Amino acid sequence: TEGGISDEAKARAASLIEEAASVLANGGTVAFPTETVYGLGADARNTEAVERIFKAKGRPSDNPLIVHIADVSQLDELVLEVNETERRLMDEFWPGPLTLVLPVRPEAVSPRVTAGLDTVAVRMPASEVALRLISAAGCPVAAPSANRSGRPSPTLARHVREDLAGAIDGIVDGGPTGVGVESTVVQAGADGTVTVLRPGGVTAEQLARAAASVTRDPALDRAAAEDSPAPRSPGMKYTHYAPKGALCVVEGPTPSGVSDYIAAELERAARRGEVTAVLAFDEHIARYKAHTVVSLGSLSQLATAAQRLYAGLRRCDEEGATFILAEACPQEGMGAAVMNRLLKAAGHHVVHLNR
Ligand code: TXA
Ligand code: MG
């Protein structure tokens, strides 16, 4: 039939979404695709349901969850106030990969969702499946990424199954997610200032078009220092996404210096018996000999690196990599989110070359 999707397939998908929605409405947990990564949803108002999310993921309970809505009309019941800047950001970027931290209306969601903070993080995802599921469930849906805590976020339903099969009530398979890294989490002042608490699918450059100023939470760039202040987004303090092997990010002033270093280190590591892996850009990838070579696409197209990063890190584990090197990329556009996740995966283990 036209468009490749038959009426029967559409009807089947619609009834699966209805079924998943009724699981959510009845206090269950369902994994579903968003445009960023797969989320593990539950009714945000239902503490027992939300506790099932924490249990399935093995997530620390002081790490609050993002609440997903399908329509801005749902905001009134969740938050006390939306300022002009926040309104502008919603108009500009919703539905889409932007999460706003807003003053929570007391009792609007389970205290397990906010981890006791007086704010709640809210976003409206751009995925059609997610929007239909949330509408049909008829409740605000709390949903962290649908991975076991400490594993890379899932960009395929298969990743969710690998991590959470048996621990959750269902998975809606919507194919690969588009963006590949999580939403950008921001706090916005009435004066137009926007603070990025977590870089993600909406870039700082895009935010700057709708804001008077855009700054990064200073804790983002001090995460490696022991005396650094707590990040304003509590989740940023955990080492997420860490592969089992030792991962190190390599950066330097010249691309050729970086690729010389990586090529030599991979060979040395292989000689001492390591199972080697490399995450690299297409401009240099032909130079590397490793057991596992993950392409992050072209340096001129960093959105591709975002799409491929998590699956690439999972592949390193699947292949039993013990020694993993990754090329750094410029912190421009989607490069900011890619570097943030890569550095966290590496436990901030970085080699800075001088030349
Ligand atoms: O793209 C995404 O945002 C995905 C998909 C499923 O929507 N969700 C996601 O959720 O990444 P999660 O739980 O893995 O990350 C939520 C982040 C954490 O860093 C958490 O600390 C922060 O949002 N957060 C949640 N509530 C907050 C609050 N009230 N204030 C500051 N940060 C908050
Ligand atoms: Mg997560």
Task: Report the residue count for the chain.
Answer: 355
Instruction: Say which residue the tokens 């990743």 belong to.
Output: 159
Q: Give the model's pLDDT for residue 28.
A: 98
**Contact call for residues 323 and 277 (beta carbons, < 8 A):** yes
CB of 34 closer than 6 angstroms to any ligand 1 atom: yes
Q: Give the span between the Cα atoms of 88 and 271, in whole angstroms.
A: 56
> Would you give the end-to-end CA distance of the chain in angstroms?
58
Strand partners, 171: 31
3-state secondary structure of 133: helix
Q: Give the model's pLDDT for residue 230.
A: 63
Q: Give the model's pLDDT for residue 241.
A: 74
Structure tokens belonging to residue 311: 């699956």
Counting atoms of ligand 1 from 1, which one is nearest the CA of 236?
Answer: 19
241 Cα to the center of ligand 2, angstroms: 9
Q: Give the span between the Cα atoms of 105 and 84, in whole angstroms.
A: 18
Nearest to 340 by CA among 153, 113, 120: 153
Nearest to 86 by CA among 114, 34, 121: 121
CB of 121 closer than 6 angstroms to any ligand 1 atom: yes
Q: Packing angle between helix 157-164 and helix 302-318, nearest 10 degrees?
A: 40
Residue minimizing CA distance to atom 21 of ligand 1: 235
Residue minimizing CA distance to atom 20 of ligand 1: 235
Q: Give the model's pLDDT for residue 211.
A: 97
Task: Determine the residue type at 189.
Answer: G
Model pTM score: 0.94
Ligand approaching nearest to the C-alpha of 198: 1
Surrounding residues of ion ligand 2, Cβ less than 5 A: 145
249 Cα to the center of ligand 1, angstroms: 25
For 215-243, the pLDDT digits (tens) are: 999 988 875 554 555 667 766 655 567 88
Secondary element (H or E) of residue 312: helix 302-318
Nearest to 140 by CA among 90, 82, 74, 80: 74
3-state secondary structure of 10: helix
DSSP of 193-259:
EEEEEE--SS-HHHHHTTSSEEEE-GGGGSTTSTTPPPPSSGGGGS--S--SSEEEEEE-S-HHHHH
Weakly modelled stretches of the chain, pLDDT under 50: 1, 226
CB of 98 closer than 6 angstroms to any ligand 1 atom: no
CB of 182 closer than 6 angstroms to any ligand 1 atom: yes
Best of 185, 194, 241 for a ligand 1 pocket test (most atoms within 8 Å of beta carbon): 185
CB of 183 closer than 6 angstroms to any ligand 1 atom: yes
